[in-house]
Structure 1
């Protein structure tokens, strides 16, 4: 870890232990003058978000009276909010804008922003401000991801837009329109974010937009911050660490020991050195990765057990706990597992619900009801299915012994990402 980063971390830990009740409790025995990064506990996400409540907040280091509030992953019954001061928000987008300058943007590019906006979601306005901070002169077209098909095609053609920025599911939908209408669009670059882009999707996009350059737009999260940028040396899925502004670790999933060799997959744990209102210190990102160059560049390897991204839809384990609260036979459920699959260029989710052998038939009779409860809670999932962005959820009833466990520890795997 670089000396500058260590000094910034030292100052940050001093500050948060004084100002944040949450961090004061978990850092009570830390020697502020002598600690190393690994001496700090990894944040427990569940406790973190409980502390970050709207009333009697125990996480924040002060009041927010000048800034922005954005929605992070969570349920409608238990929403999660990310708080930034105005200065932090400007810094977040400035840093990401610096990363965009290392990407494939060129002077005069005409960029269609197809990310989603509204309802406190960050992606659209985040990319808008980051483009403004980028030093590369480009023209921004703020279209959003909800533009009607006819209007979108008209804008792309009439305004001669050559760069698309958005989520892969939106690009796949656009590709289907291009193919069905036998159109030729002036698109030469596709910058994706928010979810992974898989090889079958890449092949379809390259066929639909001949000669197109496809790249990640960068790696960020509204709960964490600036996670990584893409430069011209990056292979698909690779990102470079923002080492001047953050500390990225890859840890063994079972032991939490740092991984210091290339090619070994572990969980990403992130420290944001720029945020002080809502501190992010050794926070599990929720993704798996391996070092391409230790401490400098990493290759994403799918989601970890913290949550799942199915196309544009975020699902977490607490989503499903919330769904089951209103289910009359919830006492018969011994456990469940979320499996993310990818087929025919679409992500889809499998929800495996386990019981003992004697109650499987009873739960199986409630399949229709379970679908209804899911659709009521996760409306965005069904909306995305209807738009052709993702596949239908599959609900499966099984015995508890059929749930997949970690081969090494025997622990139940809450989320399994089979897309890679």
Structure 2
């Protein structure tokens, strides 16, 4: 990791580094993705099979996972894993039930009713990554809020393994939360299938879930035909630590983030040069014991930063400009500093609330804004799976009282038909 001594005047210079913001690279990727989407629209299932063979080196005949495959997967996985999923599901459901919104009507009296209808989005597509790792936790996090919201149809797509099957742990998670359909396709072609449909896959109304850069760019391209949750970038963690923090814990949490992939972003902000040095030592000692050490090394080298700041106030100012996906507070009296947190996807408070607790078990969603977008966006939640309709009722007498105001505004805008729609009633 690169260590940087931060002076107060440097804060604005150092903040909001644009990770992977290479427009030339995006243009090349977008050209590929656009062709995939067009082929999918024209060729349907044939394009799905062709691109799966090309990108995943797998020939798939039956695109949809069968009930027999679900049953086989459930029987294959470790019962202790199922028990862990059930415990995590309980926590996730309990948290997201607090996010439910209700329809409402406001009776203003004398013939006026105003209100809002809250309705679930009916058809949801969930993308679950494969490739470098398997993510049954994503199945839980991205489907449970939709279930709580009352969505009628939840469809999952995920890349097949080399044997042409879906990883049994992913399928077990899908069975546990009640996913309606699972398809063995991934990449941009899967996003296009969810958006536009094929002979086998019926289109959905909204697509959620993380994926690689091709998945992210595909989601951006189909937005408008369907809704999406966010354009997710590489995963991030930012730890704020003072001189009382445990360097071994800090290093372990940075490594946990770095093992996601080579683009993962790891940041330590500390008031202590000594802590910075100890963390560097711990990183070197701990990483050699880990399976994904080469990925970790590349991530730390390219996207790891240690900022040494003069005080915690400066540290929080820097963090708010970075706007990290995950924020850990390893400082004394962390709760007194929470009001200083303005831009972060999720906040982990204290030395015994590490980021994996949120990834798997605690209850809040682990699908979070990345790339500085925590400045204006929120974690995935039940609110992402609902839509709202306004309700307006005026009786004749109340419209008569309002008509001159409405006509005046309409005519000022040059919309005489609008004015006439009011005037004709009187």
TM range (shorter): under 0.3
TM-score (norm 1): 0.27
Normalising by the residue count of structure 2, what TM-score does the alignment of the two structures yield?
A: 0.27
Q: Which has the higher strand share?
A: 1
- Whichever structure has more helix as a proportion of its residues is 2
